[in-house]
A and B are shown apart, each in its own frame.
Chain A
């Protein structure tokens, strides 16, 4: 935030962390009770999962071929989905934040739909668009011999569908915070629209890009409902880690718990690795 605000009013660099001697406003004590409750509601179930885990068998459980295959597929598809989100969602965010079109509000509402939609509904929607009998799918099948359901491409599409809004929201937020004035200044300085886009707008996106990418990747890694409805579940092709967990739960609860912990670890790793850099912003 500090990085994108124009900040000329401040004389210092504004980056110094508060030292421990700084007097701070005290929080009302009462605030701690719901705050701790909220934290507990999130942290304790994860703790419960770790408690339930069979730690001795854990290494064996998470290195089973089926588990590794599912993890590899999840990482691969989530990576491709995240790239797709950036390539498609980035320009979409710019259009939403900077475009001057009638009906842009309605457009934004549509883009945000996957955020509020149950993923299963998203999966069904994709199925009725791209499925063999779907609106577009039937022509893909008869004209190009392309069949999307039950393929890894379907997994990527399902993940991109649910993850895209996270990226768009982050990037659009960064652009709105920066405002349009930088682009206006760049234009009067003689920069063509394309130059303005690449040398001004894109760098302004960076503060939002870190958190957007983390959220989109994490959302893609965790995708379940849309995938199972649209892509099915086949080891090595469409059975991602969450689907493998759901399936293992039927036969081997210990394995399901172990894989859940694996997913928690991967998610935590991603958040820890990428988040601080995004908080730093463009500096």
Chain B
């Protein structure tokens, strides 16, 4: 197992291996002080399990976790520091404010638990509540707060524990669309402004872009991709990272003209200078770069292949056309999307089941090495 050690001093270093029925997690990661890491991955990829193991709520089968020089978990040495002495706070998806305490009481909970005097804890709590713009809600019980308000109070409560490491488990997932931007801005302020070391699990590339220095993509319990946020989302090398970034991906091996797919067809595009012929590579393009035709088009687009229309999903003023593999067409076309205007759909009279042609301009396709091989 190779430990990822960033160039800067390490705040968190963790190697975790954990097996449950039908699921195994094996991850090594490191964080520099003040660094924010976003963890992306499909459902069931082990994101929440990873957080629980870091927080000490789960004991890994093998591995080691150190935070700021303290050994929190060392399975070989039989060491497992319990959650309350780790200095790691987990902010769950639901705010889980204690229902019997007011907003103020909730935020005062961590300092009170440390034995801080009631009055001092109150001052701290009020200050944190005003930092999350919830001071006027101090006296309310959690049941009297909206989802967004409750989550902001939960953030204040997490900060009140003054953690060395903050873990956020999809903090925006349970919020409605108008509450999410406020919380995202708040988190950016407290995480980036406060110099917090944090791990954010999310589904939303926007969270990663706004909050994180680095991104780690988890799939089936293993890291498939990691790196600086912009490079992972801008040049995704795994199908999941591509999808999360809103990009389409075709994989194969690098060849002089592009990426050779398993069928032997060549997918052309802008070539990454570091890409060596013969190594695994991916071709990535936005769905809006795909055009749809009844007849095989001729002319400039160089990537043309037949598909069957699986579904048509309206998304605002565009329609996402999801492809299935067509008889005689490439199998990798299954699951690709074209994004075209509703007017175009109407003009073309597209219906699910129709056999059509997808065309992608080579100018819109980026080629780079595939994930998991570097």
Contacts and interface: CB of A to CB of B under 8 A. Distances in A.
- Direct A–B touching, Cβ under 8 Å: yes
Which among B86, B100, B150 has the highest number of chain A CB atoms within 10 Å? Answer: B100
Contact of B113 (A3, A6, A9, A195): A195
A212 to B, nearest CB: 17
Given A13-B143, A184-B90, A185-B92, A190 B161 contact: yes
Contacts of B80: none
B79 interface: no
B114 A282 contact: no
Interface residues of A, number: 34
A3 B144 CA distance: 10
A13 to B, nearest CB: 5
Nearest to B157: A189
Contact of B84 (A4, A182, A188, A283): A188
Interface of B: 55-57, 82-90, 92, 94-96, 98-101, 109-110, 112-114, 141-147, 150-151, 157-158, 160-161, 167, 174, 176
A200 B98 CA distance: 7
A189 B100 contact: no
A190 B110 contact: yes
A283 B114 contact: no
26 contacts: A3-B99, A7-B142, A8-B94, A8-B145, A11-B176, A14-B143, A182-B96, A182-B98, A184-B57, A184-B83, A185-B90, A186-B113, A187-B83, A188-B55, A188-B90, A189-B113, A190-B87, A190-B89, A190-B113, A190-B114, A191-B113, A193-B84, A195-B113, A196-B84, A199-B98, A200-B98
B260 to A, nearest CB: 49
A206 interface: yes
A105 interface: no
A185 B82 contact: no
Contact of B100 (A11, A13, A188, A203): A203
Nearest to A202: B100
A200 to B, nearest CB: 6
A283 B92 contact: no
Contact of A190 (B84, B92, B144): B84
A186 B82 contact: no
A193 B83 CA distance: 10
A186 to B, nearest CB: 7
Interface string A157-200: 00000000000000000000010011011111111110110011
Contacts of A3: 99, 143
Given A188-B57, A188-B83, A4 B99 contact: yes
Contacts of B174: 8-9
Nearest to A3: B99
